[in-house]
Amino acid sequence: MFEQATQLNPRDADLLTEWSWTLLITRQFPAALEIIDRALNVRPDNAELLAQKANIYQLQGDLPAARATLAKIEPGSMAEPALNARISQLLLERKYNDAIEFIQKVLSAPSSNQLFTFCLVRLSLARAQNLAGDKSGAKASYAQARDELEKFVREQPNNVWIVAGLANAYAGLGNQEAALREGERSIAVLSATEDPVTAPVIEEFLALTEAQVGEADRAIARLERLLTVPYGPDPITLALLRLDPAWDPLRSHPRFQKLLTQPEPKTRFE
Return the CATH number at 67. 1.25.40.10
CA atoms within 13 A on the CB side of 117: 14
Residue 53 pLDDT exceeds 60? yes
Q: Are 194 and 164 in contact (CB under 8 A)?
A: no
Average pLDDT of the chain, as a whole number: 92
Residue 19 forms part of a structural domain: yes
Distance CA 7, CA 29 (A): 22
> Residue 109 burial by CB count (10 A; 0-12/13-18/19+): exposed, middle or buried?
exposed
Q: Which of 159, 134, 122, 131 is nearest to 244 (CA)?
A: 131
Residue 23 forms part of a structural domain: yes
Distance CA 263, CA 111 (A): 43
Residue 60 pLDDT exceeds 90? yes
Range of lowest pLDDT (13-27, 99-113, 205-219): 99-113
Residue 111 pLDDT exceeds 70? no
pLDDT at res. 192: 58
Residue 140 forms part of a structural domain: no
Q: Is 95 strand, coil or helix?
A: coil
Q: Are 226 and 217 in contact (CB under 8 A)?
A: no
The total of structural domains in the chain comes to 1
Instruction: Give just the sign of the alpha carbon dihedral 112, 113, 115, 118.
Output: negative
Q: Are 186 and 207 in contact (CB under 8 A)?
A: no
Instruction: Give just the sign of the alpha carbon dihedral 246, 227, 66, 23.
Output: negative
Q: Which of 222, 179, 227, 177 is nearest to 203 (CA)?
A: 222
Residue 119 forms part of a structural domain: no
Q: Any idea of the CA torsion for 213, 218, 220, 225, to the nearest 10 degrees?
A: -140
| Residue 77 phi, psi dihedral angles, 5° rounding | -65, 130
Q: Are 79 and 110 in contact (CB under 8 A)?
A: no
Distance CA 23, CA 31 (A): 7
Average pLDDT over residues 48-65: 97
Residue 34 forms part of a structural domain: yes
Q: What share of the chain is helix, strand, coil (3-state, %, to 5)?
A: 70, 0, 30
Average pLDDT over residues 216-235: 95
pLDDT at res. 196: 85
Backbone Cα Rg of the chain: 18
pLDDT confidence tier of residue 112, bands split at 50, 70 and 90 = very low
Question: What is the DSSP secondary structure assignment for residue 249, as one 8-state letter?
Answer: G
Residues 116-155: pLDDT tens digits? 577 889 999 999 999 999 999 999 999 999 999 999 999 9
pLDDT at res. 114: 59
pLDDT higher for 190 or 19? 19
Helix axes 199-212, 176-189, angle to 10 degrees: 170
pLDDT at res. 115: 59
pLDDT confidence tier of residue 108, bands split at 50, 70 and 90 = confident
Residue 48 forms part of a structural domain: yes
First to last CA, the chain: 20
Residue 253 forms part of a structural domain: no
Residue 99 pLDDT exceeds 70? yes
Residue 239 forms part of a structural domain: no
Buried b (16+ CB within 10 A) or exposed e, 129-159: bbbbebeebbbebbebbbebbeebbeeeeeb
pLDDT confidence tier of residue 182, bands split at 50, 70 and 90 = very high
Owning domain of residue 86: 1-93
Residue 91 pLDDT exceeds 60? yes
